[in-house]
Amino acid sequence: MKYTNIVQGTFVSRPNRFIAKVIIDGTEHTVHVKNTGRCKELLIPGVTVYLQHSDNPARKTAYDLIAVQKGERVVNMDSQAPNTAFREWAAINYPGAVIRRETTYKDSRFDCYLEYNGEKIFTEVKGVTLEENGHVRFPDAPTERGIKHIHGLIDRVKNGYKAQVFFVIQMENVLSFSPNYDTHARFGQALKDARDAGVDILAYSCVVTPDTMVIDKPVPVIL
């Protein structure tokens, strides 16, 4: 996926989960943060951030914060990007497949539904931005909604469908993926239960630049 109208800025502060203060060309702006997660290890005062400019006069803010420089890595932190990147990846890796977004079954709405070579596959996509020493984890905050989706995927397998959790790691050059047991042990256990029930647990890193994010290659999953 590719963004347009990208500019560079310097992060100042984050008054709440929806907005941040960023200096662009010497002037401080209030910008929209496209990720309501904590991201405390990313949004550190003084770091370089990348923003998408909008000319829409109806917007309250003219910029969306979409990525941040973390050492040698550019980390995409746009929470909408993983689903878009996954659909682009699926169109290549499941050639000719039927691909539907946000498909509802019973009381759960899944990010993607695929029909390919006679298989019907429900997919839940999760974006990952939490990294330490090359190892990435999810979630960075408790997610009861995430557990509900995993239980829904287990139900899909029991009813004859295929199902997968697809972790889109929004950076490159990582070593492994694991659930964040420290933050939400029940989510990690739910992933183990899903694996044992036949749900595929996949993690892929991405090639990320200030204005692009493309799913690249699989990363070992350690549950």
Q: Are 56 and 100 part of one and the same domain?
A: no
pTM, rounded to two decimals? 0.95
Residue 55 has pLDDT above 90, yes or no: no
Of the candidates 30, 47, 76, which is a domain's last residue?
76
- Taking only the tens place, the pLDDT of each residue in 58-96 is 899 999 999 999 999 999 999 999 999 999 999 999 999
Can you tell me the mean pLDDT for 32-57? 93
Q: Are residues 201 and 160 in the same domain?
A: yes
Cα(139)–Cα(37) distance, integer angstroms: 9
Amino acid at 81: A
State yes or no: pLDDT of 202 exceeds 80. Answer: yes
Q: Which residue has the tokens 């929806």?
A: 18
Give residue 122's domain range. Answer: 81-218
Residue pLDDT, tens place only, 140-198: 888 998 999 999 999 999 999 999 999 999 999 999 999 999 999 999 999 999 999 99
SS3 222: coil
Q: Which of 23, 54, 76 is the last residue of a domain?
A: 76
**Total domain count, the chain:** 2
pLDDT score at 57: 86
